[in-house]
Structure 1
Amino acid sequence: MTTTLRMLTYEITADCMDEYLRIGESTALNSLKKFVKAIVVIYSDKYLKPSNNDDIARLLTVGESRGFPGMLGSIDCMHWKWKSCLTVLSEMYTSQIHEPTIILEAVASYDLWIWHAFFGLPGSHNDINVLDRSPIFAELAEGYGPPVNYSINSNDYTIGYYLADEIYPQWSTFACVVLHNMIVEDDRDVNGSEDFNSDAIDGSSQKPVSHEHTPEFMEFIQNHHLIRDKETHSRLQADFVEHLWQVHGQSC
């Protein structure tokens, strides 16, 4: 246990434990693997679970209370330095910071809870390359995505969206984070708390298990086009401008 915690805390390799704790490299690695597997078995159901209907309903309620109906969270990529990268892999994993890194794509909600994590691509990729390989919209493309219905500026939408920066494509599932930061800057409350009644949210505690056949190929293609619909993205952006002006324009 001591070996495992030191390796995780100080980000050191297994062979660094030889002289300090008199434990061989193979023993240290085996201990680390068992520790990680135990953490996953014990805590994955709570801390690695995908969002269920209750979670989606809560996120939508919070988003609407903050002036962003239909928002499911924020998406971005970050680079984790790989200090012990093998020389043969260093060029592939070298990022714009000129060091080997591994990319993590994550979706976080307002309280910094991570709902989606896609980790492992080389640092030479950019956010778009990661998105093309990410399973974030897999369920939505297969027709199993959570029901999301909201209205902005008298226009109805049926697909939730994530706040993203300008590098992300103009899809119906993304909205520019600049809009969000403009509102946060004008209406920030560091010590405030969310004021909504979670007991009033409808939704089952677990996602219903589907025993139906996977959707036909043409249905999958249709869902795929809906996710990447630029026209919906442009309309959503224009509606947001009008919506945010109506909500916050009078106080400017």
Structure 2
Amino acid sequence: MVNNHMYKLAYYLTDGIYPKWSTFIQTITLPQSPKQQLFAQVQESVRKDVERAFGVLQARFAIVKNPVRTMAKEKIRKIMRACIILHNMIVEDERDGYSMRYDISEFEEGESSRTSEVLNANPTLNEIPTILNNIFPNRNDLRDRQTHERLKNDLIENIWDKFGDED
């Protein structure tokens, strides 16, 4: 729900290389109004924060580096939460002066010849369409430029309503 409008897909803050689909929200490269300037500033700031945090987790935990397209959302959530908790524990431990270094290369996964097909131990579950098909039931919903523009305008208004009057 953004600016009192309901959206059925999640959105992701991206840079300009992504297409203008309903789920990708890019910055405004040449903002013309104060609302657009504020949106661009907030979008770029938040996107960079997320990229930095994710980069730290990818550098520390190999499981975060590898593709997870076939995993269930709940499993991904648990993995990310565990990595964040472990990262915070490591940072806290290092802050206290304990800074012994380990060679983590033996734990990292390198390039593999695995396929992206995942077989479940329960054969009936292998007949279920991929999780991606469940997430994006209609390709047109994903690529809808009108939804993209409506969401972006709603986000611009939402940010302005929250932070626009503050100088």
Q: TM-score, normalised by structure 1?
A: 0.27
Greater share of strand:
1
Which is higher, the Rg of structure 1 or of structure 2? 1
Greater share of helix:
2
User: Which structure would you say has the larger RCO, counting Cα contacts within 8 Å and 6 or more residues apart?
Assistant: 2
Q: TM-score, normalised by structure 2?
A: 0.39
